[in-house]
Structure 1
Amino acid sequence: MPHRQPSLPSLQFRPTHPTRHLYKTLAVLWAALCVLAAGAMAQPTDAAQAPEPTDVTAVARPTDSVRVAVPPYSARVLDTTGTLHTTHIAELNQQILALEADTRAAVVVLMVQTTGDEAIEQYATRVFEKWKIGDAERDDGILILVATEDRRMRIEVGQGLEGTVPDVLAGRIIDQDMKPRFRSNDYAGGLKAAINSIGTRVRGDTQPLSSEESGGITPFGWAFFATLMWGFAVGAVRAHRTWKWPVTVGVLAAMPLVAAAVLREPGMGFVLLSFPAPLTFALGFGCGRSRAMRMVVSGIALAIGLLVGIAHAVGADRFGWGFLYAVVGGVGCLLLGLIAMGVRRAYKRSLVELGVRSAVVTGIAAYVAFENPPGPFGPDWTSWLPVGMATGLAMLFAFFPSGVSSSSDSGGRSSSGGSSSSNSSSSRSSSGGSSSGGGASGSW
């Protein structure tokens, strides 16, 4: 008999389970979030290299970890940094006095070197409360705060002028009047333009913001919208391609990183990479794999388009808050149902998977809470809105229900805010006005 050599058993490679892809993706995203959060929180200051300030400037620089002290009120234009020339201070003071004589609204300008470890919104609130800007009954005070070394600015508005100087207008004043001039070191020109725009609005020389004006898209809005479209497109393409997940994550992160680099806002990259990009990627991936998913998303998009068209035709004010509340409530219930379904499925599959997803959600919520510290929940419940929205969106895409794919068993899933506020106040009285936390912040 011929001698037959035993053949070696052929090696059979089992296909990688989709859960392993999921763990790799979550691990990569979690590492990226940790790096971005560490970079955002580790913002070194030049306090040790700067010369020791004297006189009133010392009030605006922290010597240790304590909060920066609020300087005593001594003038309508108080520059503790020595940036403004005395001539410019006199011109700004005359501009504010003219506005106060016409409208009784009190506008105060404060320039400091830094707010320290405290957010400029919190520091502005402390200044407003200590200086008692505006009349106690009318609450018509406005604070323009500039931190030169932090390159941050804020317009804090009293409760009495919130309707006259809304947040969108305060943000527009910062973006259009102050930021371009500040980047050219024309601080006096930026402050003059801001006070002039505020005065025009408070005097009533302009018509109320139209729906088109109030709905103007900011640079962050364009970046957010572009990231939504990019994430959806990458998800749809990935549904029919065999990219490695690290490549997919890199392509998905390209748009947020480019937007952050163009607008020179590092924190924006974290926000865009955390929320809209992974969420729309999941939607695009699901639409690419499931015909039912495509029909659902198309129906939602069509409904939103019809609602926007109706509101534009009849006017936002006539559209009816009741209908808006009903739509928001229905969408909220739908999202809560999706989250609950996703949590239940993750728990059934693996406790490790549930823990990883929960860790991602906790990290995102903690970062947003760190950047926007909320106040007491009872009297200041609106301060919890950023944390609540961030947590809800994070849970939505972290626990997005699997099984949207009807044609493949290797589906994918990815997991993953200067805020504006404006206030206004009028003449300064002994009791003074108060700020509700509204207004606008920005950087240059």
Structure 2
Amino acid sequence: MPIEILMPALSPTMEEGTLAKWLVKEGDTVSSGDLLAEIETDKATMEFEAVDEGVIGKIMVEEGSEGVKVNTVIAVLLEEGESADDIGSAKAAPKDAAPKETASADTSDAQSPASDKTEAAAAPPAPKDGDGKRIFASPLARRIAADKGVDLAGVFGSGPHGRIVKADVEGLAASDSPKAEASKSTAEAPKAAMASGLSASAVAKMYEGRDYEEVKLDGMRKTIAARLTEAKQTVPHFYLRRDIQLDELLSFRGTLNKQLEARGIKLSVNDFIIKACAIALQQVPDANAVWAGDRILKLTPSDVAVAVAIEGGLFTPVLQDAHHKSLSALSAEMKDLAARARDRKLAPHEYQGGSFAISNLGMFGIDNFDAVINPPHGAILAVGAGVKKPVVGKDGELAVATVMSVTLSVDHRVIDGALGAELLNAIKDNLENPMSMLA
């Protein structure tokens, strides 16, 4: 029987992707491990390998196709002795189709009595949400919802890929639906409208008669927009600011770079900032934490993410166990991650995770700024440029020093004010006493 090749989930959160390029064509013979295609996720382009051997009988999704749902049939592989006639009437699932179901996909419906299954056969058609997108629900769940008058648009699906199953609607009543809630409180409607913003057509109408270029959003831009909107709407940010004197660090860095020159190593100020933050998370372990919905996860290692600007967006590759690594090791790893980030060659595990992030715009001449927290991180450090400024020394004398302004954006659900201040003070002490970071 022909083998269906499905759109793979190349990361835990991937729901759809772009089939960027086929590396095979119909009629090609492939073996397990052969490269079949290049798949673009929201942030990376990854190669997809064959797991079976056979002949590519039919390509169902053309290269360049965007928004291809995970588990959509993208090609059909013929085994020995099979021909194109065996493919039959197989068709690629439409882009808004639900993921292919397996025998274990919906156990609650599979275990339903025969009479329930008969009723499910006459279930209402798949409903759509306010944007006209299909709501994925099993036939039995649709039938139960219709009988109870429940609006599926507001029901959370516990099945595969968010599919609504029988258990999700059994305990609901019509009053639980968003429509009923809206009638209870009309004040909620304006809030929802404000959260979603103006529609594309409404904005375009405002600029009728004006010249403009429409820039289509790629997967990365859509993800950035969604995550930053989520962060600013749901994360209670507060901000802590400090000035850090860098003269001792710059002198120490110069000495180290001279000693490391023969090994081809050149440390940047950013390498010291990464190390200082990693050590500070160990010094203030309660701040080494992330928000997990209904709880806080306190991490043991210092896994520090660093924002890297690329064309059209940014990555935040994560340096794991940064507190254990030497400055030279951190420098080499950061250079490698940044280079592969700009080529969009990072694997998902290299930019997911971490509890803390660093965003450094000092090299662009920015004195100070406030960074947006990257959920589920507990905090992010915004780093400005080192600038010569007059300072008052410990002896009361006026002097000139290189001063770097930093702002710590903190998730108040994870880190309270005093704890955030303790973390920022630890970062400052580490940077102003760089020798201590080698102890």
TM over 0.5: no
Q: Which TM-score band (shorter chain)? A: under 0.3
| Structure showing the higher strand proportion among its residues | 2
> Taking structure 1 as the reference length, what is the TM-score of the superposition?
0.23
If asked which structure has higher relative contact order (CA below 8 Å, sep 6+), I would say 1
